[in-house]
Amino acid sequence: MSEPFDSPQDYPGWIDDPKAVAAIAALQPIASFGDTEAGQDSSALPAYVFLWDAARKVTGGLLPPRNQGNIGTCVSFGTARAIEYTMCAEIAAGEPEHFRTVATEPIYGGSRVEIGKGRLGRGDGSVGAWAAQWAKDFEIIERAKHGAYDLSQYSVTLSRTWGQSGVPDNLEGVARLHPIQAITKITSWEQAKRALASGYGISISSDQGFSMTRDADGFARAVGSWSHCMCLSGYQTGIREGGRIDNSWGASAHTGPTGAGNPGPEGFWADARTLERMLAYGDSWAFSAFAGFPARPRKSLDWTIHT
């Protein structure tokens, strides 16, 4: 049975909790991306990086638009999307693995209950850092059937249930498809560009809102307020510098040209100044499956290929 997907703008779901973020950051061997090998690399960055080009190479097309529906599960969607882009970049760079879609329901429930210890009560939403820590501590579960649990299609009902009860014990640890060995906080636009150039997807959380209409270059104007988590999936420099954001409100929420690199319809480009402000909230995370954050993928991926 289909479930309702009405007015997702009313259900963003990111919880701004600096103390919770600081506690997770303190658990990491490297607290900030600027302290990693990739973050300290001083070589020139590519003029642009489009992680969806890695998806095209690996899957034959773009990652499909996703819709969180009428529940505040955005943190799980932004996290899952970032991890999927990291997987694509690694596979495109020659890692002997297979791409699999990441289920969001375990990330949502696990972040709220197993990591957040149920402190948010019965309301919707989660903290970006909690979702990142779940991805590191537990298993990234494929969107498929796992015994009695059918995760082959996104479920608002199951998200809400697991958001209160947590992930069932007998599902934790199911079929790790890709280990997330390291997470680290992204706090500046320069760090974000270097992370993306190294092949790392980024979950980005803030209360910055945007126009739903893209301009001729695919950019959306910063306006209003969304307590929301999305995915930063690419950047461009030059006359109009900015980053591409993938949203989780479906294929038709945003209108207008999609802009440089021909990304999908589910997102928009944002200008560098706005992204700097969003990243300053401190709850944005890069994901690596390597031990640490080496600058390896940027040296082997050809970012000049896009269609």
CATH of the domain at 284: 3.90.70.10
- Interstrand relation of 48-50 and 220-236 (parallel, antiparallel or unpaired): antiparallel
- The pLDDT confidence band at residue 229, using thresholds 50, 70 and 90, is very high
pLDDT digits (tens, 9 = 90+) for 41-52: 878 899 999 999
Domain range holding 169?
19-293
pLDDT digits (tens, 9 = 90+) for 170-206: 886 664 545 688 999 999 999 999 999 999 999 999 9
pTM equals 0.93
Q: Indicate whether 75 pLDDT > 90.
A: yes
- What residues have CB less than 8 Å from 271, skipping those under 6 apart? 219, 222, 240, 241, 242
Q: Can you tell me the distance from the alpha carbon of 51 to that of 231, in angstroms, rounded to the nearest whole number? A: 11
Beta-carbon count within 10 A of 18 CB: 12
User: Exposed, middle or buried: residue 60 (CB in 10 Å: 0-12, 13-18, 19+)?
Assistant: exposed
> What pLDDT sits at residue 290?
56
In what helix (H) or strand (E) does residue 52 lie, and over which residues does it extend? helix 51-59
- The pLDDT confidence band at residue 145, using thresholds 50, 70 and 90, is very high
Residue 3 lies in a domain: no
Residue 306 lies in a domain: no
Residue 4 lies in a domain: no
Q: Indicate whether 279 pLDDT > 60.
A: yes
> What pLDDT sits at residue 174?
63
> What pLDDT sits at residue 30?
87
> What pLDDT sits at residue 307?
41
- C-beta separation of 293 from 36 below 8 A: yes
Residue 59 lies in a domain: yes
More confident residue, 100 or 54: 54
Residue 129 lies in a domain: yes
Q: Indicate whether 9 pLDDT > 90.
A: no
Arithmetic mean of pLDDT over the chain? 89
Residue 23 lies in a domain: yes
pLDDT digits (tens, 9 = 90+) for 126-138: 999 999 999 998 8
Q: Can you tell me the distance from the alpha carbon of 93 to that of 301, in angstroms, rounded to the nearest whole number? A: 6
> What pLDDT sits at residue 293?
66
Q: Percent of the chain, pLDDT > 70?
A: 88
In what helix (H) or strand (E) does residue 292 lie, and over which residues does it extend? none
> What pLDDT sits at residue 180?
83
Residue 40 lies in a domain: yes
Residue 11 lies in a domain: no
> What pLDDT sits at residue 247?
97
Overall number of domains in the chain: 1
State whether the Cα torsion 151-152-157-159 is positive or negative.
Answer: positive
Q: Indicate whether 262 pLDDT > 80.
A: yes
Q: Can you tell me the distance from the alpha carbon of 121 to that of 201, in angstroms, rounded to the nearest whole number? A: 30
The least confident of 12-26, 71-85, 237-251, 281-295 is 281-295
> What pLDDT sits at residue 43?
82
